[in-house]
Amino acid sequence: MSPSPLFRIVRAVALLAFAAYFFVPLLAMLDFSTQVRGSAPGRTWDNWQYVFTDDDFRASIVYSLLLALFTVVLMVALLVPTMVWVRLRVPRAKVLIEFLCLLPLTIPALVVVVGISNVYSWVTYLLGDSPLVLTFVYVVFVLPYAYRALDAALSSIDVATLAEAARSLGASWFTVIVRIIMPNITGGILGAAFIAVALVLGEYVAASLLHFDTLPVAMADIYRSNGPAAMAAALATMAVVSALLLGLTFLSRDRHKQGASS
């Protein structure tokens, strides 16, 4: 049954309203970022050129992208084996693991950062003062969301049967987790990665208080001295983040289609 003309009109108006709500602020940011500073009217791309030529800002982008990558890898390496092992060997501990993973939701990020600031003085002493050491605190921040995504994916498959079948054929536990369990929960892993990337690329409190120059901190510093350049940096960052998240989305869809066809 085809939709009525009234429904089509309402849908078109809703889509236009959503497009205006989403794109008008972006267009305003683009307009502001190309304005000439001062009283003389005109347009300039100097602010955009500054974003791509400033060495400090480019370094902050690289650090933030590497932080997102390392956070995803460490999060998967910690959570997936732990959750699989709990389901197979100690199912009674599932409530405790869930409580520990969801605990960061109840504690403000400011409190977490203040609490671990003394610990991070030793971390930076042992590992150096690179912003990449923020990986550890970012894993803590992303734990609640990643746990929910992975728990839903693990609940959709029979972990015990898959593990017992693989073990009966002589597979090691590493093989069971990496080659048997993880390919069947790719959607959950990609969902957790999606959230982790978005959180890491937008996190400001921990990086600022621990004095690391990540992308949000660099953008805040630019905004204090050059507003139009900060708008250009914000738009460029949004484009990069959107491209990454869209890539994860399409990768998740491809995996889902492959699983459905097989």
Reduce the DSSP state of residue 3 to 3 states and report it.
Answer: coil
pLDDT over 60 (residue 193):
yes
| pLDDT tens-digit series, residues 50-98 | 777 878 888 888 898 899 999 999 999 999 999 999 988 888 888 899 8
CATH number at residue 146: 1.10.3720.10
Q: Per the domain annotation, does 181 fall within a domain?
A: yes
Residues above pLDDT 90, as percent of the chain: 12
At 193, phi and psi to the nearest 5? Answer: -65, -40
For residues 60 and 218, is the Cβ–Cβ distance under 8 A?
A: yes
Q: What is the value of pTM for the model shown?
A: 0.80
Q: Per the domain annotation, does 17 fall within a domain?
A: no
Q: Per the domain annotation, does 204 fall within a domain?
A: yes
Average pLDDT over residues 115-137: 84
pLDDT at 38: 61
Q: Per the domain annotation, does 40 fall within a domain?
A: no
Which residues make Cβ contacts (< 8 Å) with residue 167, sequence separation at least 6? 173, 176
**E-strand stretches of the chain:** none
Q: Per the domain annotation, does 52 fall within a domain?
A: no
234: containing domain: 59-261
pLDDT at 66: 92
Structural domain count of the chain: 1
CA distance 76 to 196: 11
Q: Per the domain annotation, does 39 fall within a domain?
A: no
pLDDT at 2: 63
pLDDT over 70 (residue 211):
yes
Give the residue, 38 or 72, on which the prediction is more confident.
72
Q: Per the domain annotation, does 12 fall within a domain?
A: no
| pLDDT tens-digit series, residues 220-246 | 888 887 778 888 888 887 887 777 777
Long-range CB pairs of 137-140 (<8 Å, 24+ gap) are: 137/112, 137/113, 137/206, 137/210, 138/67, 138/71, 138/196, 138/199, 138/200, 138/203, 138/206, 139/71, 139/74, 139/75, 139/78, 140/104, 140/112
State both tokens at 83.
């959750």
pLDDT over 70 (residue 260):
no
Which residues make Cβ contacts (< 8 Å) with residue 229, sequence separation at least 6? 33, 47, 50, 51, 222
